[in-house]
Amino acid sequence: MLRLASSSLCPFCEAHAFSKALVAPWQHTRSAATFQKPRGPARMNLSPRVAQGPKKATPDGRPVRKSRNSPFNAMNTTTVPRELQQQAARHAAAAEEKRVNRHVKGGRGRPTKEKEPMKALKMQRALASVPYEKRSRIKLELAERDRFEEFDLLSEIKEAVPVQALGGMSDIAPTPIQRLAIPAMLGTEDGKRRRKGNAAPPPKEMKQFLLAAETGSGKTLAYVLPVIDALKRAEALEAQQEAEAAKREEQTKLVPGEGNELPSPDVNEPHHTTGRPRVIILVPTAELVAQVGALIKSISHTVKFRAAMISANYSSTVIRNRLFSPQGIDVVVSTPHLLDSITESDPNVLSRVTHLVIDEADSLLDRSFSPLTSSIIDRATPSLQQLILCSATIPRSLDTYLHKRYPSIRRLTTPNLHAIPRRVQLSVVDIDKIPYQGNRDLTCAQVIWDLGKEQDEHAAPGAEKRIIVFVNEREKADEVATYLQSKGIDALALSRDSSDRASTATLAAFTGTLTPAQLEKQQKDTRTADPSTRRLRGVKVLVTTDIASRGIDTTAAKTVILYTVPHTSIDFIHRLGRVGRMGRRGRGMVLVGRGDRKDVVKEVREGMFKGMALI
Site residues (CB under 6 A) for ligand ATP?
166, 169, 172, 174-175, 178, 213, 215-221, 392, 551, 553, 555, 577, 581-582
Is 21 or 130 the residue whose CB approaches ligand ATP more closely? 130
Q: How far is the CB of 547 from ligand ATP (least distance, A)?
A: 13
Is 183 or 577 the residue whose CB approaches ligand ATP more closely? 577
**CA 30 to the chain's CA centroid:** 80
Is 290 or 448 the residue whose CB approaches ligand ATP more closely? 290
Backbone angles phi, psi at 431, to 5 degrees: -75, -10
d(CA 118, CA 186): 38
Q: For residue 62, how many other CB atoms are within 10 A of its CB? A: 8
Q: Do residues 433 and 472 make contact, with C-beta atoms less than 8 angstroms apart?
A: no
Q: Do residues 40 and 46 make contact, with C-beta atoms less than 8 angstroms apart?
A: no
Is 282 or 484 the residue whose CB approaches ligand ATP more closely? 282
Strand partners, 419: 613
Is 175 or 495 the residue whose CB approaches ligand ATP more closely? 175
Q: How far is the CB of 360 from ligand ATP (least distance, A)?
A: 7
Is 360 or 441 the residue whose CB approaches ligand ATP more closely? 360
How do beta strands 3-5 and 21-23 pair? antiparallel
Q: How far is the CB of 589 from ligand ATP (least distance, A)?
A: 19
d(CA 418, CA 214): 6
Is 211 or 589 the residue whose CB approaches ligand ATP more closely? 211
Is 498 or 549 the residue whose CB approaches ligand ATP more closely? 549
Q: How far is the CB of 544 from ligand ATP (least distance, A)?
A: 14
Q: Do residues 226 and 186 make contact, with C-beta atoms less than 8 angstroms apart?
A: yes
Is 472 or 555 the residue whose CB approaches ligand ATP more closely? 555
Q: How far is the CB of 301 from ligand ATP (least distance, A)?
A: 16
Q: How far is the CB of 433 from ligand ATP (least distance, A)?
A: 33
Q: How far is the CB of 285 from ligand ATP (least distance, A)?
A: 12
Q: Determine the straight-line distance between the first and last CA of the chain, rounded to whole angstroms.
A: 67
Residue nearest to ligand ATP (CB): 218
d(CA 304, CA 594): 57
Distances in Å between the Cα of 231 and the Cα atoms of 82, 153, 226, 329 are: 72, 12, 9, 12
Q: How far is the CB of 376 from ligand ATP (least distance, A)?
A: 20
Cα angle for residues 215, 515, 581 (degrees, 5° grid): 15
Q: How far is the CB of 113 from ligand ATP (least distance, A)?
A: 39
CB-count burial class (<10 Å; 0-12, 13-18, 19+) for 547: buried
| Residue of 390, 321, 381 whose CA lies nearest to 355 | 381
**Cβ neighbours of residue 536 closer than 8 Å, sequence gap 6 or more:** 448, 449, 452, 487, 488, 489, 490
Q: Do residues 193 and 149 make contact, with C-beta atoms less than 8 angstroms apart?
A: no
Is 416 or 443 the residue whose CB approaches ligand ATP more closely? 416
Q: How far is the CB of 263 from ligand ATP (least distance, A)?
A: 48
Between helix 336-345 and helix 370-380 the angle, nearest 10°, is: 50
